[in-house]
């Protein structure tokens, strides 16, 4: 990694204040971009744009295995999901051309992946990856090209960019890539429409992932080389952490890969309909047995590229089937901040009962087993007193009553 790091842009301590000013300028730009998107989505008067070609990029491959868990390898997981996603698009939209940067286990240079998208004049570039971290890290996140704002985002970027060391020239072709804050902001300004649409698609992706129980880590920005040279809306999806045994069991098998591909397809379909001025498709697929929460009603600050428009706790519950299971992890006679360190960054739902403040995480629609699985995961991660609770139309009920309601 030291050799690789020498090839990638580094920022000195002396540049800290300057970079902060530039990031502030970018935040203003992103705010303006999101305002434009909001007007676009509300008015429906934006010029219609057809999606004719989609390029799907399965990360890593060949001599580059990517990250791995106990049995699953990133290059294989990414390829399986990519092929499944492409097949779904072809089946529903035969007029849309689907191009893969690779359709087998081969090595493809980062710049060639972007070149494939550019040569095919793609209208959308979807790059699929899996993440690495601690055994406790979990969830999905989607990146667009931009400036990383946390050390964690920087590490993801550096890990994915580091494969240039495996290329024939050891990454020499990228030495002239200007990945400075100034250059990235300038590129975003030049391709403002692409950035807007990238964020729009990324938001659709995260929304669909949440529907199947995936933990939402947000829409983020970083300087990924694979996105830098693309000339169309482009995203990089981190589908989950193969270093987390629970996530590996989900992503490393056919069922989990099918669910992820289906979610990506629904996001694509919604995005396509939004751009083409058609009605957004409502997916009635029921929540799966994934061990992660379905909804996150109080999302923490996640340095997203955009603002998550989450609904209130009450509306989330009423919009569901009515019967909701959560995992309670804390009770207090005093109000506790939802961003308290005791919650370890989890999205928290607060309710009051018997003059006590009670705090839960996760939201499982009529799925007691998924809630139990999540409870066990929380216990392993330090929440020793975690237990499952049930709500019906926003009111706390006993588990016994919840089971009877489910049977009806």
pLDDT digits (tens, 9 = 90+) for 31-43: 544 544 444 444 4
Is it the case that residue 21 has pLDDT exceeding 90? no
Share of the chain above pLDDT 90, in %: 37
Summary mean pLDDT of the chain: 76
Instruction: Tell me which residue of 217, 221, 275 sits closest to 29, measured CA to CA.
Output: 221
**2-275 has which CATH code?**
3.40.630.40
Residues whose CB falls within 8 Å of the CB of residue 356, separated by 6 or more in sequence, listed in order: 331, 332, 333
DSSP designation for 285: P
Sheet holding 356-365, edge to edge: 349-353, 356-365, 323-332, 387-392, 395-397
Number of other residues whose CB lies within 10 A of the CB of residue 294: 26
- Pairing between β-strand 387-392 and β-strand 395-397 as defined by DSSP bridges: antiparallel
C-alpha to C-alpha distance for 316 and 298, rounded to whole angstroms: 11
pLDDT given for residue 39 in this prediction: 42
Q: Where in the chain is the domain with CATH 3.40.630.40?
A: 2-275
C-alpha to C-alpha distance for 329 and 359, rounded to whole angstroms: 6
C-alpha to C-alpha distance for 76 and 89, rounded to whole angstroms: 20
Q: How far apart are the first and last CA of the chain?
A: 57
pLDDT given for residue 371 in this prediction: 87
Angle, CA 144 vertex, CA 309 and CA 111 arms, to 5°: 165
Which has the minimum average pLDDT: 12-16, 127-131, 158-162?
12-16
Which has the minimum average pLDDT: 39-43, 61-65, 258-262, 309-313?
309-313
Is it the case that residue 16 has pLDDT exceeding 50? no
Residues whose CB falls within 8 Å of the CB of residue 268, separated by 6 or more in sequence, listed in order: 54, 85, 89, 124, 126, 201, 204
**313-407 has which CATH code?**
3.30.70.1070
Query: What string of DSSP letters covers 124-180?
Result: EEEEEEEE---TT---EEEEEES---SHHHHHHHHHHHGGGGGSTTTTGGGTT---S
Q: In a 10 Å sphere around its CB, with 0-12 CB exposed, 13-18 middle and 19+ buried, how is residue 152 labelled?
A: middle
pLDDT digits (tens, 9 = 90+) for 203-250: 999 999 998 888 888 898 877 777 888 889 999 999 999 999 989 999
Q: Which is more confident, 106 or 8?
A: 106
DSSP designation for 64: B
Report residue 182 as tokens: 């100034």
Q: Which is more confident, 381 or 358?
A: 358
pLDDT given for residue 94 in this prediction: 96
Most confident of 52-61, 157-166, 210-219, 373-382: 52-61
pTM, full prediction: 0.57
The helix/strand/coil state of 240 is strand
Q: Where in the chain is the domain with CATH 3.30.70.1070?
A: 313-407
């Amino acid at each position: 990694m030291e050799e690789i790091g020498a090839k990638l842009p580094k920022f000195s301590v002396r540049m800290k204040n300057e970079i902060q000013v530039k990031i502030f300028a970018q935040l203003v730009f992103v705010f303006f971009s999101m305002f434009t998107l909001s007007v676009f989505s509300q008015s429906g008067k934006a010029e219609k744009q057809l999606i004719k070609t989609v390029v799907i990029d399965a990360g890593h491959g060949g001599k580059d295995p990517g990250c791995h868990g106990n049995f699953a390898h990133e290059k294989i997981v990414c390829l399986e999901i990519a092929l499944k996603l492409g097949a779904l698009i072809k089946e529903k939209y035969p007029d849309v051309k689907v191009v893969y940067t690779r359709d087998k286990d081969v090595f493809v240079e980062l710049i060639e992946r972007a070149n494939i998208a550019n040569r095919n004049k793609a209208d959308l570039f979807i790059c699929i990856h899996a993440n690495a971290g601690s055994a406790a890290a979990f969830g999905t996140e989607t990146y667009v090209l931009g400036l990383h704002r946390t050390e964690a985002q920087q590490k993801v970027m550096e890990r994915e960019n580091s494969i240039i060391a495996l290329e024939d020239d050891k990454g020499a072709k990228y030495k002239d890539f200007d990945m400075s804050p100034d250059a990235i902001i300038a590129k975003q300004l030049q391709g403002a429409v692409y950035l807007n649409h990238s964020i729009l698609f990324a938001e659709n992706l995260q929304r669909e992932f949440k529907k199947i129980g995936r933990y939402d880590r947000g829409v983020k920005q970083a300087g990924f080389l694979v996105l830098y040279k693309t000339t169309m809306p482009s995203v990089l999806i981190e589908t989950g952490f193969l270093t987390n045994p629970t996530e590996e069991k989900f992503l490393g098998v056919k069922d989990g890969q099918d669910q992820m591909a289906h979610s990506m397809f629904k996001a694509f379909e919604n995005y396509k309909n939004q751009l083409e001025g058609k009605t957004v498709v409502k997916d009635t697929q029921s929540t799966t047995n994934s061990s992660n929460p379905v909804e996150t009603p109080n999302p923490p600050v996640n340095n997203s590229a955009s603002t998550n428009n989450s609904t209130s706790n009450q509306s989330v519950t009423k919009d569901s089937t009515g019967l909701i299971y959560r995992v309670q992890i804390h009770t207090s006679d005093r109000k506790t901040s939802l961003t308290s360190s005791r919650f370890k960054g989890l999205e928290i739902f607060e309710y009051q009962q018997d003059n006590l403040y009670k705090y839960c995480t996760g939201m499982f629609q009529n799925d007691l087993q998924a809630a139990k699985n999540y409870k066990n995961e929380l216990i392993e991660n330090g929440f020793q007193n975690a237990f499952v609770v049930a709500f019906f139309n926003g009111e706390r009920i006993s588990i016994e009553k919840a089971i009877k309601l489910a049977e009806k």
